[in-house]
Amino acid sequence: MNLAELNKVAEAMVAPGKGILAADESSGTIKKRFDAINVESTEENRRDYRELMFRATEAMSNHISGVILYDETLRQNAKDGTPLARVIEQAGAIPGIKVDAGAKPLPFSPGETVTEGLDGLRERLAEYYKLGARFAKWRAVIDIAPGIPSWNCINANAQALARYAALCQEAQIVPIVEPEVLMDGDHTIERCAEVTEWTLKEVFQQLFYARVALEGIVLKPNMIISGKKCPQQASVAQVAEETIKVLKRSVPSAVPGIAYLSGGQSDVDATAHLDAMNKLGGFPWKMTFSYGRALQAAPQKAWAGKQENVAAAQQAFAHRARMNGLASKGEWNKGLEG
């Protein structure tokens, strides 16, 4: 393992003004997204949709540091025959790959899941490196509901994340470590803080046991927010303060950067929260975005599967990328939304 090289990639992924596009929807998830805009989820439509984003050159070059791809996309060519990973590189961004096989029910833990995908991962990583991936992603899912999460669930997921991260570094690939505490449910922001702190502490303990070098990872956590159905919704300022507080308690300063998931927040909320944190400052890491829905909801709606809408979809994507790029520097304000 060349840690200096891994660190260089990790730093590039969280470079000021830039963040990550999470375009790694698995087949089931992209179908759901396409269903919502009445587009059939064919291989060609998935390619066309993703290619339109990767060819939004201004956005990709200035505001997107890396793109998380699904296996199919890393192997796909653009319409003109150029591999999509090459299109991303030509725009100045880094191709990455989702390597987990999804969250599966955890035995004897009703309502909880453990993310699978470790079998054969060493071999898959070697192939992904050859295909151009320089970072990877693994998402663990922790749900909050009465009586859960259990230690069993947090521990199983933290161990899997740590083994994945070690395998990535062995293969000279930067692991994005994503323990997502879901915002579904009616829990308070305090409960989200409590569970996220517990989860992050277990994850960093397991990363230590697995001998993962923290200088060569990027953390992708949830923000500390109220459950979607909680009657008491926290303000932007409260989200920023609570998130920084929990992360300061749990994340070592050797980690180069934190790239948040959006988790179902509206796109403007996700931008406002990131901006508020960066305006507050006072933490040792770069803080940016690794958004899926909060970057793609607008372009998906604008595109609606029609060739004549490609320019409008690219504009919608470029706008969100620019807004989040500004938020990563604490330079966004609502007036810029237009």
Tell me if residue 286 is catalytic. Answer: no
Do 320 and 298 contact (CB within 8 A), yes or no? yes
Residues whose CB falls within 8 Å of the CB of residue 123, separated by 6 or more in sequence, listed in order: none
Of 55, 134, 139, 273, the residue at the interface with ligand 5MM (CB under 6 A) is 139
Site residues for ligand 5MM, window 67-96 (CB under 6 A)? 68
Catalytic residue among 112, 178, 180, 202: 178
DSSP bridge partners of 177: 138, 219
Parallel, antiparallel or unpaired: strands 135-142 and 94-98: parallel
Nearer to ligand 5MM, 178 or 202 (CB): 178
Tell me if residue 334 is catalytic. Answer: no
**Contacts with ligand 5MM, 102-121, as mask; x by CB under 6 A:** x-------------------
Nearer to ligand 5MM, 5 or 40 (CB): 40
Task: By CB under 6 A, tell whether 20 contacts ligand 5MM.
Answer: no
Do 161 and 118 contact (CB within 8 A), yes or no? no
Task: By CB under 6 A, tell whether 25 contacts ligand 5MM.
Answer: yes
Least distance CB 102 / ligand 5MM (angstroms): 6
Of 8, 11, 15, 26, the residue at the interface with ligand 5MM (CB under 6 A) is 26
Instruction: Supply the Cα-derived Rg of the chain in whole angstroms.
Output: 19
Least distance CB 37 / ligand 5MM (angstroms): 16
Task: By CB under 6 A, tell whether 262 contacts ligand 5MM.
Answer: yes
Nearer to ligand 5MM, 1 or 72 (CB): 72
Task: By CB under 6 A, tell whether 292 contacts ligand 5MM.
Answer: yes
Do 7 and 215 contact (CB within 8 A), yes or no? yes
Of 24, 51, 202, 267, the residue at the interface with ligand 5MM (CB under 6 A) is 24
Active site residues: 178, 220
Residues found near ligand 5MM in the complex (CB under 6 A): 22, 24-26, 29, 68, 102, 139, 180, 261-263, 291-294
